[in-house]
Amino acid sequence: MTAPPQQETAVGTATVDDDTDEARVVLLTVDDDASVSRAVARDLRRRYGETYRIVRSSSAADALDALRELKLRGWPVAVLLADYRMPQMNGIEFLEEAMDLFPLARRALLTAYADTNAAIDAINVVDVDHYLLKPWDPPEEKLYPVVDAMLQAYADEPEVTVHETKVIGHRWSAPSFETRDFLARNAVPYRWFASDEPDGERLLRAAEVGAETLPVVITPTGGTLVAPSTTELAGAVGLSTTPAMDFYDLVVVGAGPAGLGAAVYAASEGLRTLLVERQATGGQAGQSSRIENYLGFPDGVSGAQLTERARRQAIKFGAELLTTSDATALASSGWTRVVSLQDGHKVAAHSVIIATGVSYRDLDAPGVADLAGRGVYYGSAPTEVEDCADRDVYIVGGANSAGQAAVFFSRVARSVTLLVRGDGLERSMSHSLIEQISGIASISVRPCTVVEEAHGIDHLEKLTLRQLSTGAVEHVHATHLFVFIGATPHTEWLSGVLERDERGFILTGSDLTVDRRRPPGWPLERDPWPLESSVPGVFVTGDVRASSIKRVASAVGEGAMAVTLAHRYLAP
């Protein structure tokens, strides 16, 4: 391929490869070695010059100036390639500042072999997508695949294709909260307008709808939805809700870490894979404000970020993802497994992986159920962070998830109180998290304390707390209560189909053979494999599996392992 003729102009002090003024998407490269900078730009131009505008710069400061000017001109930036070793400001610092200007641009660091560690650090610090070792010859093998992947990731960003969804609702309305939570957890960008503020009132008037039934959602194409169901909402914002085919090699139910892990491995290994998710990709992990113990992320990673990457990865490999699709039944027809969805669709497959995880148990105290979504939230509900500013936040639970939430909310709240039924955190929370909490002055821990009652008319206003050791009762003013207590598995729909333990977790492998007897109805001349349920070819991964380790890493690992077993099952 030959490079288009080069007619250079300037953006600030940076060089642009053409002299037109049309708003083409930009690929920017910065390297203080002018010859390297020219070489990168040349290689980029050769492959991408006809479609994209290539901007190059030989210092981080110049590149930042160029980005500011691009912002003013309204030219989008898709890719940033920055040299690591630059004087004054290194590549990581540059990318960090560049992210403020173009948060959607995908980022790569150019490094020498000796700087590989710095590049790996960068993946955590500034969420760098790739690092490229210099030299990158031949570009067809070392540079273009990386840039192609970055361009694809950029194009897949919902904000790039979908401009803006507007949600007009009431702050203390449960349906309004559910809509915002759903959009946020599915990484759909939206703007929130309170229905009783001027902008919200204006939008309601423009859409010709009253404020009686909220929320009202205005889609980027101008469509209006009044109090939509999550399925309507998913369809309107471009999330897929119905399967494209009737038959797959593998259906994975649940898109938490275990299901995402399975989908990535299955699709990358060529299996026609359908991933069915009832709510939002990420599962519980998507609610974690900071996962500190996942391999390869020494500075931690937010659950939303980790699972969003996994979602993109699964789709990139060709997995089909259905959102707001609730699996309601599993049946066998000979060697075919059939999963029914709540909308009436049935999908058949050679093999099925159940990865439906667990969710928090309801807090059983008077008043709590009525105020759910109106001050009482299950999980960390990141959409509520802004509303917690300078308020007193209460969190129920003594495990790591509650501790992480306490740290997360302490950044904005006036005070955070952890209400713990047990006599302390030591038995239920990791040592490092306990230390972190004890170092934050605004967090206090109240052991042996339970919520006796929640009070409020429109929204949560007050809690009655009971001290278990003394029996003393106290009323506290509270607007936000986040609940993180024990978990129950999502397996009601499998009752009578798969063997479960007394708490509903699904039995697999050797747990199914009692006194060397295989499970009732087991048709094969072999024992169930590890992760295999009481129905051959149906595998179970992650938190929903009896005696599993409740961790992101083990869920992902089991997802990968189940795919290998599914292969073995498909080709005995």
Ligand X SMILES: Cc1cc2nc3c(=O)[nH]c(=O)nc-3n(C[C@H](O)[C@H](O)[C@H](O)COP(=O)(O)OP(=O)(O)OC[C@H]3O[C@@H](n4cnc5c(N)ncnc54)[C@H](O)[C@@H]3O)c2cc1C
Q: How far is the CB of 386 from ligand X (least distance, A)?
A: 19
Q: Which two tokens stand for residue 567?
A: 């292969």
The partner residues of 167 in beta bridges, in order of sequence, read 192, 217
Say which DSSP state 532 is in.
B
- Binding residues for ligand X, rule CB under 6 A, total 39
Sequence-ordered alpha helix ranges (H) in 187-299: 198-206, 230-236, 257-268
User: Does residue 273 belong to the site contacting ligand X (CB under 6 A)?
Assistant: no
Q: How far is residue 533's CA from residue 520's CA, in Å, rounded to a whole number?
A: 12
Question: Considering only 28-36, 112-120, 140-148, 250-258, which stretch makes contact with ligand X by CB under 6 A?
Answer: 250-258
Q: How far is the CB of 308 from ligand X (least distance, A)?
A: 13
Pick the binder of ligand X from 277, 308, 320, 532 (CB under 6 A): 277
Pick the binder of ligand X from 122, 321, 327, 483 (CB under 6 A): 327
Q: How far is the CB of 76 from ligand X (least distance, A)?
A: 32
Residue with smaller CB distance to ligand X, 161 or 293: 293
Which residue bears the tokens 């605004």?
442
Residue with smaller CB distance to ligand X, 195 or 325: 325
Residue with smaller CB distance to ligand X, 295 or 514: 295
Sequence-ordered alpha helix ranges (H) in 218-302: 230-236, 257-268
Residue with smaller CB distance to ligand X, 151 or 352: 352
Q: How far is the CB of 181 from ligand X (least distance, A)?
A: 12
Q: How far is residue 313's CA from residue 321's CA, in Å, rounded to a whole number?
A: 11
Q: How far is residue 169's CA from residue 218's CA, in Å, rounded to a whole number?
A: 11
Pick the binder of ligand X from 57, 195, 273, 380 (CB under 6 A): 380
Q: Are 461 and 479 in contact (CB under 8 A)?
A: yes
Q: How far is the CB of 68 from ligand X (least distance, A)?
A: 37
Residue with smaller CB distance to ligand X, 267 or 555: 555
Q: How far is residue 75's CA from residue 231's CA, in Å, rounded to a whole number?
A: 35
User: Does residue 283 belong to the site contacting ligand X (CB under 6 A)?
Assistant: yes
CA atoms within 13 A on the CB side of 163: 5
Question: Considering only 153-161, 166-174, 210-218, 356-364, which stretch makes contact with ligand X by CB under 6 A?
Answer: 356-364
Q: How far is the CB of 185 from ligand X (least distance, A)?
A: 9
CA atoms within 13 A on the CB side of 519: 22
Pick the binder of ligand X from 37, 383, 404, 449 (CB under 6 A): 404
Residue with smaller CB distance to ligand X, 25 or 552: 552
User: Does residue 397 belong to the site contacting ligand X (CB under 6 A)?
Assistant: no
Residue with smaller CB distance to ligand X, 58 or 279: 279
Pick the binder of ligand X from 279, 410, 479, 533 (CB under 6 A): 279
Q: How far is the CB of 517 from ligand X (least distance, A)?
A: 29
Q: How far is the CB of 471 from ligand X (least distance, A)?
A: 31
Q: Are 386 and 408 in contact (CB under 8 A)?
A: no
Q: How far is residue 286's CA from residue 187's CA, in Å, rounded to a whole number?
A: 10
Count of other CB atoms within 10 angstroms of residue 362: 13
Q: How far is the CB of 356 from ligand X (least distance, A)?
A: 4
Can you tell me whether residue 252 is helix, strand or coil? strand
Site for ligand X in 78-107 (CB under 6 A): none
* Binding track over 451-490 against ligand X, x by CB under 6 A: ---------------------------------------x
Site for ligand X in 287-326 (CB under 6 A): 287-288, 291-293, 326
Q: Are 432 and 292 in contact (CB under 8 A)?
A: yes
Say which DSSP state 202 is in.
H
Q: How far is residue 215's CA from residue 183's CA, in Å, rounded to a whole number?
A: 13
Q: How far is the CB of 379 from ligand X (least distance, A)?
A: 6
Site for ligand X in 528-567 (CB under 6 A): 542-544, 550-553, 555
Q: Are 269 and 315 in contact (CB under 8 A)?
A: no
* Buried-exposed string 390-409: b where 16+ CB fall within 10 A, e elsewhere: ebbbbbbbbbbbbbbbbbbb
Q: Are 170 and 196 in contact (CB under 8 A)?
A: yes
Say which DSSP state 25 is in.
P
Q: Which residues bind ligand X (CB under 6 A)?
A: 253-259, 276-279, 283-285, 287-288, 291-293, 326-327, 355-358, 380, 400-401, 404, 490, 493, 542-544, 550-553, 555
